[in-house]
Amino acid sequence: MTGGADLSGTINRNLAAAAQRLGIGMMLGSQRVVLDTARGEEAATSFAVRDVAPDVLLFGNIGLAQMTKDAVPHIVRALDRVGADVLAVHTNPLQEAIQRNGDTDFSGSLHRLHDLAGMLGYPVLLKEVGHGIGAAAVAKLLRLSGEPPVAAIDVAGAGGTSWSRVEQLVRYGELRYPDLADWGIPTAQAILDVRHALPVIPLVASGGIRTGMDAAKALALGADVVAIARPLLGPAIESADAAIDWLQRFIDELRICLHGCAAADLRALRNVEVVSTP
């Protein structure tokens, strides 16, 4: 979720300590600020978590708009420095369009992703930020070369944090375009779409995952992993123990869902019958 300021460092370290304790993964916030040579050195320390989380699967993070050929060595240096295992690339055209001075030039960005992903030496996960990656986006990815140029996808669908809503409130102090606040592919639909198009790609479900039961549903619909952002912000500001408490309750609820579905493990949830009601 974050990085670049003092509080970000606290949040990242508390999340990292919780991830280490519970054996789960963690994604850093956008490392764009580290690419900025003026502020980069100072900002880098807020992303440093390996000393408290030596074993977690750690995702670095950058925007698709920032992924240029010139930026590749800087991105690699930022990933090396934090000891990341994977780079998450977020595509967020709606957010950028509403943000003041947003980076709205996405022209050629999928081709750049295709050309540059292999140059990083890190596997790439492609994600949205809460408006969803669905069938149309996957079709475009596949048109590039017949295979997705990324190792994994996080649908980051609609139904949870809406950056279109947040940016309107930040910029205008009100919802100037209310319809845009709710625009997006709902997470459940996005999971079905991406899983249908890409049957074996590692698939993360984020966007509105709030409870262990939400996780169970997302996994039963075809996700391999779920991710949570907004609900962990408060606990992560408070302490590592607060983040652990929140996550442990979530995991316990998911466990009870497995029991209720007679699923011996997470993989077995895939075979559970999913019934949609209107």
Token pair belonging to 225? 């992993």
Distance of alpha carbon 53 from alpha carbon 13, whole angstroms: 8
**Least distance in angstroms from the C-beta of 262 to ligand FMN:** 28
**Least distance in angstroms from the C-beta of 213 to ligand FMN:** 15
**Least distance in angstroms from the C-beta of 187 to ligand FMN:** 8
> Which of 19, 65, 78, 156 contacts ligand FMN by CB under 6 A?
156
15 binds ligand FMN (CB under 6 A): no
Contacts to ligand FMN from residues 49-88, by CB under 6 A: 61, 88
**Least distance in angstroms from the C-beta of 34 to ligand FMN:** 12
Nearer to ligand FMN, 20 or 206 (CB): 206
**Which residues lie below 8 Å from residue 57, measured CB to CB, with a gap of 6+?**
25, 26, 85, 86
Q: Is the dihedral of CA 93, 207, 119, 46 positive or negative?
A: positive
Amino acid letter, residue 262: A
Stretch that binds ligand FMN, among 108-116, 229-237, 248-256, 262-270 (CB under 6 A): 229-237
Q: Count residues near ligand FMN (CB under 6 A).
A: 21
Distance of alpha carbon 263 from alpha carbon 244, whole angstroms: 25
207 by Cβ neighbours in 10 Å (0-12 / 13-18 / 19+) ranks as: buried
Nearer to ligand FMN, 29 or 148 (CB): 29
229 binds ligand FMN (CB under 6 A): yes
Distance of alpha carbon 162 from alpha carbon 143, whole angstroms: 29
> Which of 4, 134, 207, 212 contacts ligand FMN by CB under 6 A?
207
Site string for ligand FMN, 92-131 (x = CB under 6 A): -----------------------------------x-xx-
**Least distance in angstroms from the C-beta of 133 to ligand FMN:** 10
- Which residue matches tokens 């030496």? 121
Nearest Cα residue to 205 out of 185, 222, 193, 182: 222
Please give the DSSP secondary-structure letter assigned to residue 28.
-
Apex CA 97: angle with CA 231 and CA 218, to 5°? 35
Give the interface with ligand FMN as residue ranges (CB under 6 A): 1-2, 29-30, 61, 88, 90, 127, 129-130, 156, 160-161, 206-209, 228-230, 233
